[in-house]
């Protein structure tokens, strides 16, 4: 298992690349309405600013800015 070192700075902006477990498919664009609904529900529960996001068939690139006093991006991704 990888041992990642992640910066946990409250209120910071973060860049993410998130891949599907099985690369090469088109699940993210095929189910974009479900992704959008999960994203909006997560933003309502745990607010943050999505500065930019690109959804490709099998991965996502995103830039988020978290609120002051909050560095919990991993829970947000888990909820999505």
pLDDT at 2 over 80: no
CA atoms of 48 and 64, how far apart (whole Å): 7
- Of 4 and 35, the structure prediction assigns the larger pLDDT to 35
pLDDT tens digit sequence for 31-76 = 999 999 999 999 999 999 999 999 999 999 999 999 999 999 999 9
| 3-class SS letters over 30-75 | HCHHHHHHHHHHHHHHCCCEEEEEEECCCEEEEEEECCCCCCCHHH
For 76, the token pair is 């947000």
Dihedral, CA of residue 19, residue 17, residue 48 and residue 68, to nearest 10: 130
């Amino acid at each position: 298992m990888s041992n990642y070192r992640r910066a946990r700075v409250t209120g910071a902006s973060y860049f993410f690349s998130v891949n599907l477990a099985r690369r090469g498919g088109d699940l993210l664009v095929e189910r974009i309405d479900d992704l959008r609904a999960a994203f909006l529900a997560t933003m309502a529960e745990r607010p943050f600013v999505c500065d930019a996001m690109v959804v490709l068939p099998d991965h996502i690139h995103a830039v988020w800015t978290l609120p002051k006093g909050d560095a919990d991006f991993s829970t947000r991704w888990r909820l999505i």
